[in-house]
Amino acid sequence: MATDAPTGSREAAGTEDTFWLGKHVFRNRLIVGTGKYETFDQMREALDVSGTECITVAVRRERLYDGDGKNILDFIDLERYTLLPNTAGCYNAKDAVRTARLGREILRGLENPGADWVKLEVLGDSKTLLPDPMATLEATEQLVAEGFQVLCYTNDDPVTALRLKRAGATAVMPAGSPIGSGQGVLNPNNIRICLEYLKGDDPDYPVIIDAGVGTASDITFAMELGVDAILLNTGIAHARDPVKMARAMNAACEAGRLAYQAGRIPKRLYATASSPEDGVISSRPW
């Protein structure tokens, strides 16, 4: 399913670093949104070079008198991508559950493997687009009971994250910073605690940074913290050159993942020389 570039380079690095998300397995660790591109062709090209195998879509009313009549599905290779329908724009649990059911129904019609899951987004405030944790928990319980694999967009609060996991969420997806804000990961310590609490006795439990990515280094930084994957949209779609930025995000994700696996050196206040201390021909000033 993956493009040649990331797969090839991972093989060159001597690992097949797959990633389980519920019942799905991916090699690439980017989940990329399909919104806000200038054209569907631009979206298709950006998705291609991002290396992603999993893309998010939204569920909206059919507009009968749409200008050009183009449908996003004409630009998405359903054999290549697993679709992840979201409940974006829902401000209560009931509407989020309805939206999840509708999304599943469409994906079943398309025979896409994404029919068994949902990116749950229940918002609490239209200015910050921050989640409503109580309503998110309520919707999670309902959707899990209905057999959905629920990927929960949430804030970076470790207690909420733990509650969502205990409610049966397939993955917890804390926001790095508000949706579309491009501020990166604002509170890495909270993400570290989320990782510790969620993965402590369950190291394969997926934790995904969802929202806030502004540029490639934000992804690398998040991946170095040890999250399993990154979900982003605006950081690519609204870059000056979305296709080039998609490539950058792909490379950044792989770099961050490899660095996390390789294990960074601890930070020290003082220097440690890289060249031998012995045999230096110069004398020290003091």
Site residues for another protein per CB under 8 A: 33-37, 43, 56-62, 64, 71-73, 83, 85-86, 88, 98, 101-103, 105-106, 108-110, 179-180, 211, 231-234
Minimum Å gap between C-beta 232 and another protein is: 7
Both tokens of residue 28? Answer: 């690439």
Closest CA to 149 of 188, 118, 125: 118
119 is catalytic: yes
Q: For residues 69 and 33, what is the distance between their CA atoms, to the nearest angstrom?
A: 21
**Nearest alpha-carbon partner for 217 in 264, 267, 251:** 251
- Please state the closest distance from residue 70 (CB atom) to another protein, in A: 11
Least distance to another protein from the beta carbon of 157, Å?
21
Residues 6+ apart with CB under 8 A from 242: 37, 38, 42, 46, 236
Decide whether 211 or 253 has the Cβ nearer to another protein. 211
Residues ≥6 apart with Cβ < 8 Å to 270? none
The position carrying tokens 């806000």 is 36
How near is the Cβ of 231 to another protein at its closest, in Å? 8
Nearer to another protein, 23 or 36 (CB): 36
Interhelix angle 242-262/4-12, nearest 10 degrees: 20
With respect to another protein, which residue has the nearer C-beta, 100 or 205? Answer: 100
Residue with smaller CB distance to another protein, 63 or 267: 63
Q: 98 vs 57, 87, 105, 207, CA distance in Å?
A: 16, 9, 11, 25
Q: How far is the CB of 226 from another protein (least distance, A)?
A: 23
- Catalytic choice (23, 36, 94, 119): 119
Residue nearer to another protein on the CB measure, 66 or 202:
66
Q: Which residues contact 190 (CB under 8 A, 6 or more apart)?
A: 156, 157, 158, 174
Residue 258, number of CB atoms within 10 A of its CB: 17
Q: Which residues are catalytic?
A: 119
